[in-house]
Chains A and B, each alone.
Chain A
């Protein structure tokens, strides 16, 4: 009989995951099937995605909740294939990539994912158009923020600049099986990966996307570093990945929030890093502020304390 990977966690972590995180997530689901950023807040695509990603790792008890959440996501997709950050909004944004990632593999979602990824493929950042790149040659700002705009990632909202987190989410979403990935996505992935490496901070790690401003090195942050490393995890032997994983490793003992700690744990496990013995404990950080009642932090914590057998399990093809 095969061992249940969920049973490999210490009992205290298992009970915290089940009693605190799982109950919190299940109780916070809204009548429309979605989740808000907090219990009793309005349903939005982003927290719904995180809750679904966590609940998909649970036992059958969450099946109905997951099905209702998936229906909410599909119902809030816009006609052009994108998802807005809030249902009232009629313009899609970065959250489209997260929705596509979340819906991948769920029954009857292939068409929604294909439409979403088509939108992602066509969502070019505005800062790096050929005209903008020409203008940038005459701008003093290019000396202030020396980045290579021929590498093109994704922005938070259409018509703006490339940033680390939305680019990472788009790259993860585009790891989808080839039958739902639109043509020409490969070239976009290559440009996006190059953009991430270009925006890495000098000692490893990433912040929102400013490795240097006015000659001063930017300071990396945990969450953008986690998402960039996960998006680039197939290049784990590159010096940039190793240096960034080392930077993340050096930060873990000083992390002061459950959200960053949970994501750092997931990232270290996915990228082959070691988890320090003196790392803070997620349950202890929960005691401080109760996650500030954040659905996404509860979901990340659940994921960090589970085997994630359904989470980014597939190894995508490496790009050149």
Chain B
């Protein structure tokens, strides 16, 4: 279940992150993902799991959304590990036609029928959640009951730069749980509250239990929609979304401490420092691929 109790980072045990090198989406992702998840010994048996990919828009070329092959292989792996149910859900921010988006990314081809598996979080039943962090001016948000109620929530972003936030990874991906039916398309109230601060509030209210970042092909420059595809050849796994995002930044040749929201998340939500992250699989240096950022974010580059 979403972690509603806020545990400051200094009270958290060290986090674990696994980097795996993956050449392309045609590789046997099921075996690779299953093996990677085994390293975490996750408590998923008999549980209901929600995979929260990043589905931002119509994407026939497969460059802006989490790739369906990664989503399907992850779902299969959790089912093999004994999960009772593995749902997939997102609430796209710019287009209310979620069905058109999932069709454009060919999710049905990989998953099969979506009717009982896919949840459009934009139009899910909602519950009022009081925001305890007060990082932004928002005091409360209505959030989808599915996201709040599942036993295990997995944030599955694409490895991308972002024109307002610097990077969009597993923490920023949680914007997608904020329901458009309450806040619109786009969820403009979050922009008015300050994107960096809203990211902190949302993740403090509904912190993902796990993160898997699709960096096989990412996006650089004017992301999250109009950037340039960037083949990075990695999947990044971790039990702490802050540690995963910090590691992804390092893979992208960026300094996580200089990304405003990540820097603050490092004291509130998880570990940012390398010495608090147990790094398994490939080393950061061996897979580092420098991502270009917009001029406003040059300060976050190495």
Contact = CB atoms under 8 A, between A and B. Distances in A.
The reply to whether chain A is a binding partner of chain B is yes
Interface of A: 36-38, 41-42, 44, 46-47, 85-86, 88-89, 93-94, 126, 140, 144, 155-157, 159-161, 163, 165-166, 207-208, 213-214, 216, 219, 221-223, 255-260, 288-294, 296-297
Given A37-B124, A257-B100, A221 B95 contact: yes
B85 interface: no
Contacts of A85: 142, 181-183
Contacts of B186: 163, 208
B10 interface: no
A294 B123 contact: yes
B98 interface: yes
Contact of A257 (B94, B97, B296): B97
Nearest to B179: A85
By CB atoms of chain A within 10 A, which of B118, B183, B191 has the most? B183
A297 B99 contact: yes
A297 B191 CA distance: 28
Interface in B96-144: 96-100, 103-104, 108, 113-115, 118, 120, 123-126, 128, 142
A292 B184 contact: no
B184 A256 contact: no
Given A44-B181, A214-B294, A86 B120 contact: no
B120 A163 contact: no
Nearest to B182: A85
Interface residues of B, number: 38
Given A41-B124, A213-B163, 14 more contacts: A41-B125, A42-B125, A156-B188, A160-B184, A163-B186, A165-B185, A221-B97, A257-B99, A257-B100, A257-B103, A260-B100, A289-B118, A291-B99, A292-B115
B114 A289 contact: yes
B181 A160 contact: no
B40 interface: no
B163 to A, nearest CB: 6
B142 A256 contact: no
Chain A interface main SS type: loop
Contacts of A216: 222, 226
Given A289-B115, A292-B120, A160 B192 contact: yes
13 contacts: A47-B123, A157-B189, A160-B184, A160-B189, A160-B191, A208-B94, A216-B222, A219-B58, A223-B95, A258-B99, A259-B97, A292-B118, A292-B120
